[in-house]
Structure 1
Amino acid sequence: MERKNFLKSLFVGALSAPVVLAACSTDDADAVTPDTTGTTGTTGGTTSGNCSVAPTETEGPFPTKVPSSYVRSDITDGRTGHKLTARITILNSNNSCAALAGALVDIWHCDAAGNYSEYGGTGMQSTNYQAVHFLRGRQTTDANGLVTFTSIFPGWYSGRATHIHVHVYSANGTSLKVTQIAFPEGTGSAVAAVNGYTKGLSGYTINASDNVFSDGVSLELATVTGSTSAGFELSINLAVPA
């Protein structure tokens, strides 16, 4: 699928105020709202038992080609940018949101300039990075369902808000969920602080106008703290049916 098939037109304007919500948070019992209807919510997530399942999203045109080859926690691979430590906790929606140990979690995202490794030299991405594998990696969740990656704060490209792709597999390699992580926006947010690196934010597509996140990001919105000088910390809980 070509990038033009799912990217929307550019949105130029002020960033919207951030909405800080956790997906199935274990820190706040009120963050998990039981729903016995089993229907799909406005974010595309569904309910299973008493736990809201992370929405299924597109892998996009740049998924990792051989994810099992990149078992590593530091996925920076020489790319420059503000440090980002991403802590992703995987919960089992089929087991009352208990931590899911032994799951395989792949992540990938663009660099500061908005380019992906393993692709390029085409109309979708002019810069050719087919021979390199930066900002991609896989980890296995620990007993608390946690994986931690060291990376850089993602840049942005036309038609998309800042985001990270996530693919969760069971221990035997069965696909459980493909989703994406959204970032809070607006004054005081990390997105505003990074300011698109050298590109700025003119032409940036906010979450509300992004064709992946425009139906709501309550189950995909990470908590992001830190600064450009000290680095940023991202945390999110994602519930998947396992």
Structure 2
Amino acid sequence: MKREEFLKRGLGSLGLFAVIPALTACLKDEVNASTNTTTSTVTSDPTTTPSSCSVTNSETEGPFPTKSPADYVIQNIVSDRKGTPLTVKIYIRNVNDSCAIIKDAIVDIWHCDAAGLYSEYGGTGMQSVNLTSVHFLRGRQSTDANGMAAWTSIYPGWYSGRAPHIHVHVYNSAGKSLLVTQIAFPEDVSKTVYAQGVYASHGQADTSNAKDNVFGDGVTNEMSTVTGNTTDGYVLTHTIFVKG
């Protein structure tokens, strides 16, 4: 099946869907922001084949996966959410091919907003606010010739019991699931973001990476590289290794 056809049809028997047009430009946080630059200590050069090549940890999709991911083939996933701008760049590499990049891999991401809320869910349990009819901060992209898929988003917030994170589901170009995983954030960057803007009223995350029930076994191959500042926004770069 051609990649373009799969993107429209989604997985299994989802049927044909229209591609949602690109959303408006990413919103700047409207509250006072620091100009201090914060950079994580983790480094990554996705243009260079890494010396170590092992499959990224498989993790749970969590309670809020995208219900119809083929509906959201969009690059700008901000929608109406306020927050510090975040550009997400994810590279996909194949451990079965000497860690070569994978072109045309299909990548879904989703994460919560500044208040720790997910779209498409709510009204009971973990998320008392009902957001079942909205679809912010969810998107599907395909990797380019450099093995990269990219999105315009905002820095994720947090909710009780979880450290800040992004969910990722990777498929090959034919739609075969290769890996479900999560991306962790450097705690120094998160502390800077959560001290300002629309994040400040929610406060600092109550769970560290080390105490998180997903990342508690280590974040060596799930930790992102995040550069930037709260005024201009941040760029997240992360490489995910799969058996292609």
| Same-fold status (TM-score > 0.5) | yes
| CA displacement at 1:108 relative to structure 2 | 0.1
For 1:47-196, what aligned pairs fall within 5 Å after superposition?
51-185=53-187, 189-195=188-194
Q: Who is 1:38 aligned against?
A: none
> What secondary structure, in the 3-state scheme, does the structure 1 residue paired with 2:159 have?
coil
Q: 1:131 & 1:26 partners in 2: Cα distance?
A: 37
Q: Who is 1:200 aligned against?
A: 203
Q: 1:63 & 1:149 partners in 2: Cα distance?
A: 17
| CA displacement at 1:32 relative to structure 2 | 2.9
Q: Tell me the amino acid that sits aligned with residue 161 of structure 1.
A: A
Q: 1:26 & 1:223 partners in 2: Cα distance?
A: 11
Are 1:158 and 1:205, in contact at CA under 8 Å, matched by a contact in 2? yes
TM-score, normalised relative to structure 1 = 0.80
> What secondary structure, in the 3-state scheme, does the structure 2 residue paired with 1:52 have?
coil
Q: 2:191 & 2:46 partners in 1: Cα distance?
A: 28
Q: 2:51 & 2:219 partners in 1: Cα distance?
A: 15
> What secondary structure, in the 3-state scheme, does the structure 2 residue paired with 1:208 have?
coil
Q: 1:93 & 1:208 partners in 2: Cα distance?
A: 27
Are 1:21 and 1:219, in contact at CA under 8 Å, matched by a contact in 2? no
Are 1:79 and 1:134, in contact at CA under 8 Å, matched by a contact in 2? yes
Q: 1:32 & 1:211 partners in 2: Cα distance?
A: 29
Q: How much identity, in percent, do the aligned residues show? A: 57
| CA displacement at 1:26 relative to structure 2 | 4.1
Name stretches of at least 5 consecutive residues in structure 2 with no aligned partner. Answer: 1-39
Residues 116-155 of structure 1: per-residue CA shift (max 9 Å, x gap):
0000001121000000000000001011110110000000
Residues 67-112 of structure 1: per-residue CA shift (max 9 Å, x gap):
0000011000110000000000001111011010011000000000
Q: 1:28 & 1:218 partners in 2: Cα distance?
A: 18
Q: 1:81 & 1:88 partners in 2: Cα distance?
A: 20
Q: 2:158 & 2:95 partners in 1: Cα distance?
A: 31
Over the aligned positions, Cα root-mean-square deviation in angstroms equals: 1.5
Q: 2:174 & 2:115 partners in 1: Cα distance?
A: 35
- Return closer, same or farther for 1:131/1:236 CA change in 2, 3 Å cut-off: same
Q: 2:109 & 2:96 partners in 1: Cα distance?
A: 23
Q: Tell me the amino acid that sits aligned with residue 194 of structure 2.
A: N
Q: 1:204 & 1:136 partners in 2: Cα distance?
A: 24
| CA displacement at 1:62 relative to structure 2 | 0.2
| CA displacement at 1:20 relative to structure 2 | 2.0
- Return closer, same or farther for 1:146/1:27 CA change in 2, 3 Å cut-off: closer
Q: Tell me the amino acid that sits aligned with residue 51 of structure 2.
A: V
Q: 1:124 & 1:103 partners in 2: Cα distance?
A: 32
Q: 1:136 & 1:60 partners in 2: Cα distance?
A: 14
Q: 1:147 & 1:94 partners in 2: Cα distance?
A: 20
> What secondary structure, in the 3-state scheme, does the structure 2 residue paired with 1:68 have?
helix
> What secondary structure, in the 3-state scheme, does the structure 2 residue paired with 1:86 have?
strand
TM-score, normalised relative to structure 2 = 0.79
Residues 24-73 of structure 1: per-residue CA shift (max 9 Å, x gap):
x54566x533xxxxxxxxxxxxxxxxx21111000000000000000011
